[in-house]
A = this chain, B = another copy of it.
Amino acid sequence: MMLMIPGPTPVPEPVLLALAKHPIGHRSGDFASIMADVTSGLKWLHQTQHDVLILTASGTGAMEAGIINFLSPGDRVLVGSNGKFGERWAEVCDAYGLNTERVSAEWGKPLDPEQFRTLLEADTAKQIKAVIITHSETSTGVLNDLETINRYVKAHGALILVDAVTSLGAANVPVDAWALDVVASGSQKGYMLPPGLGFVSVSPKAWQAYATAKLPRYYLDLGKYRKDAAKNTTPFTPPVNMFFALQVALKLMQAEGLEPIFARHQRQMNATRAVMRSLGLPLYAADGAASPAITAVAPAGVDSEQIRSVMKKRFDIILAGGQDQLKGKIFRVGHLGFVSDRDILTAISALEAALQDLGYDGFTPGAGVSAAAQALTAA
């Protein structure tokens, strides 16, 4: 099975083999060494000198921790909502009794930074405590303009809490340079790991907010993780096999280098988008707002669920469908994490075959592969 979905993403063999090692005790010196090593690797990946904490949780668990540790009931928060995940963080805020204000854009369109600027500038009483942004909106393939929105947040003084689940390790997320207060991510994305670990970076300013934040928490209490991380341990039993795998994956990432990783994702995104144009398949996100992790396509004249079905049956290649209101309307190609140029060519060749199989005649056979080859070479 070949995964071309935005998570779980493909996992390199050395990482898989690390998972099959016998567990070790998590209160041992051996585990402490691994914890120290992966923490250092995570700081490199996040481009931060500050804390990056590791949770046994999905990306949603990590992001919830990133919200509830820094706020109190009734706090006013702005939540960018232009897809399933932005909407999910608004639901988390609602569940915890925050004063949630959705700043929405149509699905498939990026959030408008100017809307945030207007709201933040009008808030002279500084009642807005945090702004929550989904960087790469996995459900639509849109990359929101975090850098610009963050600039307005900085001018105001609120915390910026970022869902970087499908952007970290794919796009530049320079935590310290942008002074991002909280950045949440999950292992089954850019990390090239199976699902099972969540990560949260926390700025010194966020820790100041933590000191007075009153939302209840225990398992997701980041203060406990911070305290124990200082001793290279964890407050609750960590998934030690996933730590073995994380250590290997971070070494692979460090060997490749941050800039080459970002360039690879950019190149594969460009190639995938060039392909869809050459096949006459409309891209769901516009050029300036496309995620380097995932390309969403809204085909006309051919059914996206049928494309996915043929791709799976004939070639054992898994594409993602649309979620919630987009079910049946789009398909999504993941090019995130451990994806090679060869994988892109493979998927595109199969996509052409599937389209021909389905009688779709909106393209010249070979056009997609040719466009991919050209785009992959150009970069």
Nearest chain-B residue to A220 (Cβ)? B219
A residues 304-358 near B (Cβ < 8 Å) are 318, 320-321
Interface residue? A203 (CB, 8 A): no
Q: Whole-angstrom distance from the CB of A2 to the nearest CB of chain B?
A: 9
A159 to B216: give the CA distance in the assembly, Å: 22
- B contact residues around A236 at 8 Å (CB): 58-61
- Which of B10, B59, B64, B237 sits near A58, CB closer than 8 Å? B237
- B contact residues around A188 at 8 Å (CB): 23, 237
- Please report whether the interface of chain A is mostly helix, strand, loop or mixed according to DSSP: loop
Total copies of this chain within the assembly: 2
* Binary contact readout A236-274 vs B (1 if CB under 8 angstroms, 0 otherwise): 111111100000000000000000000000000000000
- Which of B7, B238, B321 sits near A237, CB closer than 8 Å? B7
* Binary contact readout A1-16 vs B (1 if CB under 8 angstroms, 0 otherwise): 1010101111100001
Asked if residues B95 and A217 are in contact (CB atoms below 8 Å), the reply is yes
- Which of B20, B24, B28, B196 sits near A196, CB closer than 8 Å? B196
The number of chain A residues with a CB under 8 A from chain B is: 55
Asked if residues A186 and B237 are in contact (CB atoms below 8 Å), the reply is yes
Interface residue? A56 (CB, 8 A): yes
Q: Whole-angstrom distance from the CB of A217 to the nearest CB of chain B?
A: 7
Q: Whole-angstrom distance from the CB of A242 to the nearest CB of chain B?
A: 6
Given contacts A20-B19, A24-B1, A241-B196, whether A218 and B57 have CB atoms under 8 Å apart is no
Interface residue? A101 (CB, 8 A): no
Nearest chain-B residue to A1 (Cβ)? B24
Interface residue? A112 (CB, 8 A): no
Given contacts A20-B17, A188-B237, whether A216 and B219 have CB atoms under 8 Å apart is no
Interface residue? A174 (CB, 8 A): no
Interface residue? A215 (CB, 8 A): yes
Interface residue? A365 (CB, 8 A): no
Interface residue? A157 (CB, 8 A): no
- Which of B3, B218, B321 sits near A96, CB closer than 8 Å? B218
Contacts A23-B194, A95-B217 supplied; 16 other A-B pairs, CB < 8 Å: A1-B24, A1-B30, A8-B26, A9-B23, A11-B22, A16-B21, A23-B188, A25-B320, A59-B236, A60-B237, A61-B236, A91-B218, A195-B240, A195-B241, A196-B241, A239-B239
| Subset of 24 A-B contacts with CB under 8 Å | A1-B30, A3-B22, A3-B23, A5-B25, A8-B25, A8-B26, A8-B240, A16-B21, A19-B20, A25-B320, A27-B320, A56-B195, A58-B236, A59-B237, A60-B237, A64-B219, A95-B221, A186-B237, A194-B242, A195-B240, A195-B241, A196-B196, A196-B241, A215-B216
